[in-house]
Amino acid sequence: MNKITHFFSPLNKKSLSWAFYDWANSAFATTVMAAFFPVFFKQYWSEGIEVTKSTFVFGTANSIMGLFVALLAPILGAVADQSSLRMKFLISFTFLGGLATGGLYFVGQGQWLYAITLYALAAIGFAGSLTFYDSLLLLVCKPKDMDFVSSFGFALGYLGGALLFTVNVLMYTHTEWFGIENQALAIKLSFLSVAVWWLIFTLPIVIFVKEPPAKNNIKEVDFKKIIQSSFKEVFNTFTEIKRYQHIFFFLLAYFFYIDGVNTTIKMAVDYGMSIGFEPSLLIKAILLVNFFAFPATLIYLALTKKLGTLYGILIAIGAYCCIVLFAYFMQTPQHFILLSLGVGSVQGGIQALSRSYYGQLIPPDRSAEFFGFYNMLSKFSSILGPFLMGTVGLLTKDPRLSILSVLILFIIGGSILVRKCELKPKRD
C-alpha cells in the first residue's frame, strides 16, 4: 500500500486538474481522429471516390493542418510566455476544436470538402491547444515528477477517450438501444458528444491551474509590441540553437520518430480498410488500444524508471519498428488485434516520456515558446508522415508499401537519440 501511495504521490489538485485536459481532448483523438472520421470520410463523405484518392485527400489534409499549426505554435508560445496567455490560448483553441467537431454533425453525404475542412479546423484546435497544455506541465509539478505526471496525463487520456468511445461504439453497433434511426446518424451524434465532452472536461484545468504574473503588464504594453518582441525571441532561439545542443539533437530525433507514431495513429484505420478489413473490426481494435493503453502507460513508466527516460523512449522506438514490419505482413483480423495490443503497450509511454524528457531540458521561464518548437516539429512531422504514406500508396497502388515507408522514420530518430542524446536530461 505504501508503494502505491508513493507511486501516486506527485498528484495534487493542480497536477490532477492539468492531467484531466488529456481526459478531455482524448475524446477527439480517439472517436474522431483515429476511428470514426477516417471510416466515415471514406465510406460516407467520399462516396464514389477511389480508395487511394480518398487516402491522398485525407493524408494531405492532415499535412496542411500540421503545417499551419507548426508555423503558428512557436510565435503564439513566445507571446504566451511574455503575457501569461497560455490559458487563454488553450481555451481559444479548445473552443475552435469543439465547435468544428460539433459542426461535423451537419455535413451531408458526399460533401467531402465540407467534412475535411471542419476536420482540419478541429484538428488545428486540438493541436494548437496541446502547445499550451504541454507548457503548463512545468507549472504543476517539480522536474523530478515530470515523468510520472506526464505519463499519468496520457494514461488518463486513454481511459477517458476509451470510455466515451465505448458509448459511441455502442451507439453505432446498437442504434436501437438509443433510439437512433441509422448508423450514419449514430456517428454524427458521436461527433457531437465529443464536442460536449471536450468542452466540459476542460473546466478543471481552467479553474485550478493558474499562471504566474506576465513578464510584461499587458495593460501597460502595446500588444503589437509584445508580438514583435515574440518574433524576435523566436528568431533568437533559432540563432542560439548551438548553445542548446541537447535540445537541438533531441528535437531532431523527435521530429522523425514522433512522425512515425503520429502517422500510425492517424492512418491506421485508413490502412486497415485499404487492405480489406471491416470497419467494425478496426473500431473494436481502437477501443482495445485505448483501454489497454491506460494501465500499459503506467506500467511502462514503472518498468523504465530504473533504466531511465531515454532508454524508455528507445525501447518504444524498437517496438514500433517491429509493429510496422508486422503491419506489412499481416493478413487476418487476429493479426490486427495483436497489432493493436502492441501499439497500446508503447504508444502512451513514448509520448509521455518524450514530453517529460524535453521538459527537463528547456528553460522554465520560456516553456510555452520551447514547447511551441516541440509541437511545431511534431506538426511538421505530421506533414511528412501522412503525405509520404498517401503518396507511396497512390504511386504504387499498394497500401502495404505505404505503411512500410514509415519504418525509416523510426530508424532515423532512434539513431540520432543513440548517438547524440544524454541518458539523463540536463539543461545547458
Q: What is the pLDDT of residues 305-343, one digit of tens each?
A: 778 888 899 999 999 999 999 989 988 888 888 888 898
How open is the CA angle 376-426-353, to the nearest 5 degrees?
A: 55
φ and ψ at residue 330, rounded to 5 degrees: -65, 150
- For residue 72, pLDDT over 80 is answered with no
Give Dmax (Cα) for the chain.
65
| Grid cell at residue 370 | 520551447
Sketch out the chain's domains with CATH numbers: 13-209+220-420 (1.20.1250.20)
**Calpha distance 297→280 (Å, rounded):** 26
Q: Are 363 and 427 in contact (CB under 8 A)?
A: yes
Cα(71)–Cα(398) distance, integer angstroms: 32
CA-to-CA separations, 227 to 179, 222, 235, in angstroms, rounded: 51, 9, 12
- Express each pLDDT in 373-422 by its tens digit: 777 777 676 677 777 887 887 788 787 888 888 898 999 999 999 888 77
d(CA 314, CA 278): 33
Question: Mean pLDDT of all residues in the chain?
Answer: 83
Contact 118, 104 (CB under 8 A): yes
Cβ(187)–Cβ(41) below 8 Å: no
* Residue 55 grid cell: 487516402
Whether residue 371 contacts residue 135, with contact meaning beta carbons closer than 8 Å, is answered with yes
Provide mean pLDDT across the span 287-291: 83
In whole angstroms, give the CA distance from residue 258 to residue 317: 9
Render pLDDT for 234-286 as a digit per residue (tens, 0 to 9): 666 666 656 777 888 898 899 899 989 988 877 777 777 777 788 778 778 88
Q: Which of 269, 208, 334, 252 is nearest to 29 (CA)?
A: 269
Confidence of residue 221 (pLDDT cuts 50, 70, 90): very low
Burial code (b: 16+ CB inside 10 Å, e: under 16) for 55-76 equals bbbbbbbbbbbbebbbebbbbb
SS3 category, 221:
coil
Q: Which residue, chain included where needed, has cell 516539429?
A: 377
Report, as an integer, the average pLDDT of 292-316. 86
Q: Amino acid identity of 384?
A: L
Q: Which residue has the higher pLDDT, 350 or 229?
A: 350
213 secondary structure, DSSP code: P
Distance CA 153, CA 345 (A): 16
Give exposure, 308-318, as e/b (b: 16+ Cβ within 10 Å).
bbbebbbbbbe
pLDDT at 171: 94
What predicted TM-score, i.e. pTM, was given to this entire model? 0.77
In terms of average pLDDT, the best of 28-42, 119-133, 192-206, 355-369 is: 192-206
**CB–CB of 57/219 below 8 Å?**
no
Rg (CA), the chain: 21
